[in-house]
Amino acid sequence: MRLSAEDIVKNSEWSEKGYKLPKFDREKMLENTAKNPTWVHFGGGNLFRAFHAALAQDMLDNGYSDKGVIVIEGFDYEIVEKSYRPGDNLTVAITLKANGSIDKNIIGSVSESCILDSKNADEYDRLKQIFTSPSLQMATFTITEKGYVVTGPSGKILPAVQEDIDNGPEHPDTYIGKVASLLYARFKAGQLPIAMVSTDNCSHNGDKLYTAINTIATAWGAIGKADEKFVEYVNDRTKVSFPWSMIDKITPRPDASVEKMLADDGLEGLEPIITSKGTYVAPFVNAEETQYLVIEDAFPNGRPALDKVGVIFTDKETVDKVEKMKVCTCLNPIHTALAVYGCILGYTRISDEMKDEDLLDLVKKIGYVEGLPVVVNPGVLDPKEFIDTVINVRVPNPFMPDTPQRIATDTSQKLPIRFGETIKKYRDNGLDMKALKRIPLVFAGWMRYLMAIDDNGEKMELSSDPMLDKVCPMFANVKLGDTVKAADFETLLKDENIWGVDLYSVGIAELVIEYFNKLISGKGAIRKTVAEMRQQ
């Protein structure tokens, strides 16, 4: 068995070994999509393959569409060259369910894989051809939040983006510059309408995409590199929309145990590839069953029938409520708490942490006791049911190979949203700040984590974080057995960029330090502290 268009049609072993194959006529789909593309997606990573491409397959299998999705990779071209094209743009999607069952699907909805390289004439001409097609309804994105950044901390346009602005739309180098260039081609083809839909896991993602595109469009118009009416086009929501969305599906990197399972089935050519840019890619993806995608319903050229395969379309305000519900209360704070304490307690699997009664109690109380009272119910998803699924199904899933070390990446960037927003709600609503016990414990836990010493007193490696160079030196002289004062960390505790609030102003700085002193009191102090917290 080898992943190819010919093999999945002619080789009966696929069905015999439990692989669900595409039900639709793939050759017809390829023909229809090439003539009248409706959906392109920027970012060919695991989330796209396990979620977006699977949604496209559901539409095709059920007769809701006769066209597939075109994937465009603009960061690491080897993903297309070494993963997509050798396998005829097919993917083996493995769904790992909490009850131990496994679904094996061959995703065949990707009609074409393209490289976003403005210096490659053949590749870029094809992309312009796609982008100037009147049938194109939407472009979706999973390029990470960093992909939309066009200015530095001071607000000045980044040098690489400025170079794209100076050179104009013909041969841009930055990711967002190339997207703006393709949108300009669509503008020149008759100001054709399109929805530009970020589905990256960040707040108000549509605004981030709009700001990036508009910055470049405005600059091009101002210096005569593009028609001045291009700016009007980008800002006309009847022509170009930038809907908000909330996406949620855990898709860890391809796991060795899944690779072995597929190899035991007789599937060849599974070896993961690490590209020259360090991207880890494989012809298969493994993901959880639970998934959510909520999108602002703003599509000036119509949209595929995604509502028939589980996508929720609603207004912008509801998307915002759903996003805040997930990020500030029902999932992300739980993940971060498990990441911090999982690392310092020596765990390597998130699912194993949920067997730890102390940590289970911690995250339950973060979600149900401290977060839920201030969450706004968005209506389209119930917050308590969402937490129930997280606590009882998603995070404990032993077949999901996710690690606290991966989730601990960039924790300094996550704390202000995942916990700071809840603190602000308590403050602004006049609630008793003393009711918050576990959130300060997470803050103290992160400070303890920054010592890079686990609960056994052994050195441990910290996950990457842009603030490590700034915050780690603050703990260089702190040793197990020490007692510190809040004044020793006043600058850190007041830093609203890290916590979302000044911890002194909301009255929890001293409690954070009280917990921190417990956590550094000696070897085993972390376990002792979280165990004691179960009684409070």
**Cβ atoms of 350 and 341 closer than 8 Å:** no
Can you give the pLDDT at residue 398? 83
3-class DSSP string for 425-489: HHHHCCCCHHHCCHHHHHHHHHHHHCCCECCCCCECCCCCCCCHHHHHHHHCCCCCCCCCCHHHH
Question: How large is the average pLDDT for residues 500-519?
Answer: 97
Q: Please tell me whether residue 507 adopts helix, strand or coil conformation.
A: coil
Can you give the pLDDT at residue 252? 81
Can you give the pLDDT at residue 31? 98
**Cβ atoms of 290 and 394 closer than 8 Å:** yes
Can you give the pLDDT at residue 269? 87
pLDDT band at 400, cuts 50/70/90?
Answer: confident
Can you give the pLDDT at residue 342? 98
* Residues near 203 by beta carbon (within 8 Å), at least 6 away in sequence: 323, 324, 327, 417
Return d(Cα 496, Cα 492) in angstroms, integer: 9
Nearest residue to 208 via CA among 160, 142, 164: 142
Can you give the pLDDT at residue 297? 98
pTM: 0.88
pLDDT band at 375, cuts 50/70/90?
Answer: very high
Secondary element (H or E) of residue 107: strand 102-107
What tens digit of pLDDT does each residue of 79-123 get?
Answer: 999 999 999 999 999 998 888 789 999 999 999 999 999 999 999
What tens digit of pLDDT does each residue of 304-335 get?
Answer: 999 999 999 999 999 999 999 998 999 999 99
The answer on pLDDT for 272 being more than 90 is: no
Nearest residue to 244 via CA among 196, 321, 296, 304: 296
Neighbours of 412 (CB within 10 A): 18
Q: Is 424 exposed, middle or buried (0-12, 13-18, 19+ CB in 10 A)?
A: middle
Return d(Cα 204, Cα 322) in angstroms, integer: 11
Question: Bridge partners of 196?
Answer: 139
Secondary element (H or E) of residue 245: strand 245-248
Q: DSSP letter at 521? A: S
* Residues near 406 by beta carbon (within 8 Å), at least 6 away in sequence: 252, 463
Radius of gyration of the chain (CA): 24
- Tokens 């390829």 found at: 30
| Residue type, position 137, single letter | Q
**Cβ atoms of 216 and 150 closer than 8 Å:** yes
**Cβ atoms of 459 and 452 closer than 8 Å:** yes
pLDDT band at 280, cuts 50/70/90?
Answer: confident
Q: Beta strands 292-296 and 245-248: pairing type?
A: antiparallel
Return d(Cα 5, Cα 85) in angstroms, integer: 11
Question: How large is the average pLDDT for residues 394-401?
Answer: 85
Return d(Cα 439, Cα 441) in angstroms, integer: 5
The answer on pLDDT for 401 being more than 80 is: no
Nearest residue to 419 via CA among 363, 476, 359: 363
The answer on pLDDT for 270 being more than 90 is: no
The DSSP code sequence of 174-208 is: SHHHHHHHHHHHHHHTT---EEEEE-SSSTTHHHH
Which tokens in the block code for residue 224? 């005569």
Question: How large is the average pLDDT for residues 407-420?
Answer: 94
What tens digit of pLDDT does each residue of 359-373 get?
Answer: 999 999 999 999 999
What tens digit of pLDDT does each residue of 144-194 get?
Answer: 888 999 998 889 999 999 999 999 999 999 999 999 999 999 999 999 999
Can you give the pLDDT at residue 536? 84
Return d(Cα 445, Cα 463) in angstroms, integer: 15
Least confident window among 51-60, 154-163, 249-258, 345-354: 249-258
Q: What is the mean pLDDT of the chain?
A: 95
Return d(Cα 230, Cα 208) in angstroms, integer: 19
Which tokens in the block code for residue 363? 């995250």
CA 295 to chain centre: 15
Continuous H helices in 228-345:
229-234, 256-264, 316-325, 332-344
Question: How large is the average pLDDT for residues 211-222?
Answer: 97
Q: DSSP letter at 363? A: H
Return d(Cα 267, Cα 251) in angstroms, integer: 21
What tens digit of pLDDT does each residue of 341-350 get?
Answer: 999 999 999 9
Going from the C-alpha of 84 to that of each of 5, 87, 92, 260, 269, the distances in angstroms are: 12, 6, 11, 21, 13
Nearest residue to 339 via CA among 410, 404, 250, 417: 404
- Identify which has the larger pLDDT, 181 or 274: 181
